[in-house]
Amino acid sequence: MAWPIAEVARMSGVTARTLRHYDEIGLLPPARIGSNGHRYYEERELLRLQQILVLRALGLGLSEIGRVLAAQVDELEALRGHHRRLLAERDRLDALAGTVSRTITELEQSRKDGRPMTSINRPENLFEGVEPAQYGESLRAFPELAGDIERRTSAMSEAETEAGHRKRTAQMIRLAELLAAGTPADAVPAQAEIDAQYRALAELRAVSAQEYRAIGRACVDNEQWRAAYETIAPGLAEYQRDAIEAYAASRMS
């Protein structure tokens, strides 16, 4: 059985324009093209589209997806591998969501009682499920920057890496509080947080205004980064991006 491109777009939620783009770059050619010029897809193409969408959800770019699919020998085994990665990502997000949920509950109770948060007795509980952001995929336009940062971070000890995780998560939570309070992204409190982030990044490698803006955009454009921000607070990814853009315009231009 063959399905026309419009039907595949409806079933998958992927636009016909995107399907045509996948064909143009060789990622998902249709099974055939009719005499009317319309693309038609069969079961094999639908399975391939499913894999593409799964890998996109896992944060891979189109070029990386192409390499993964080209290296596949057995589709069933490939799907099993994708399934394992999806389950691992689900568990990570469940853990992160649980951590944020507990923090919300404790903050509400501590403000009501006027007492410190319970988890402060074991502050490591604040960071369960939180993982460091990876720069490589999101900064492909700046491979030298991404490479330098990855090399520096890979040389860190486990204790240094864990401390970095905690510091970044604390920064995200402080920004979320400013967002919830209605503080503009270019206001002094938000810019102070961004300045602290920039200085921490600059310790790894000097960053230009253009590069820092790219990092800000990656907070929204990279699916994994965005998911991490949005788990903490809806709209936080855009808030971080806008705050970085304001910082770069006012302090780095």
Mean pLDDT confidence for 189-200:
91
Q: Distance (Å, rounded) from C-alpha 147 to C-alpha 83?
A: 29
CATH number of the domain that 206 lies in? 1.10.490.50
Same domain for 57 and 92, yes or no, is no
CA triple 17-18-22, angle to 5 deg: 120
In total, how many domains does the chain have?
3
Evaluate if residue 239 carries a pLDDT over 90: yes
Q: Is residue 141 part of a domain?
A: yes
Q: pLDDT at position 145, please?
A: 62
pLDDT tens figures, 175-192: 888 888 889 999 999 999
Q: Which domain holds residue 147?
A: 130-253
Cα dist from 226 to 91, 217, 219, 220, 240, whole Å? 17, 10, 5, 5, 10
Q: Is residue 135 part of a domain?
A: yes
Same domain for 235 and 153, yes or no, is yes
Q: Is 3 left (phi over 0), alpha (psi -120 to 50) or beta?
A: beta
Same domain for 107 and 181, yes or no, is no
pLDDT tens figures, 67-115: 778 876 676 777 777 677 677 667 767 776 777 777 677 777 777 777 6
Q: Distance (Å, rounded) from C-alpha 66 to C-alpha 62?
A: 6
Same domain for 135 and 59, yes or no, is no
Q: pLDDT at position 31, please?
A: 95
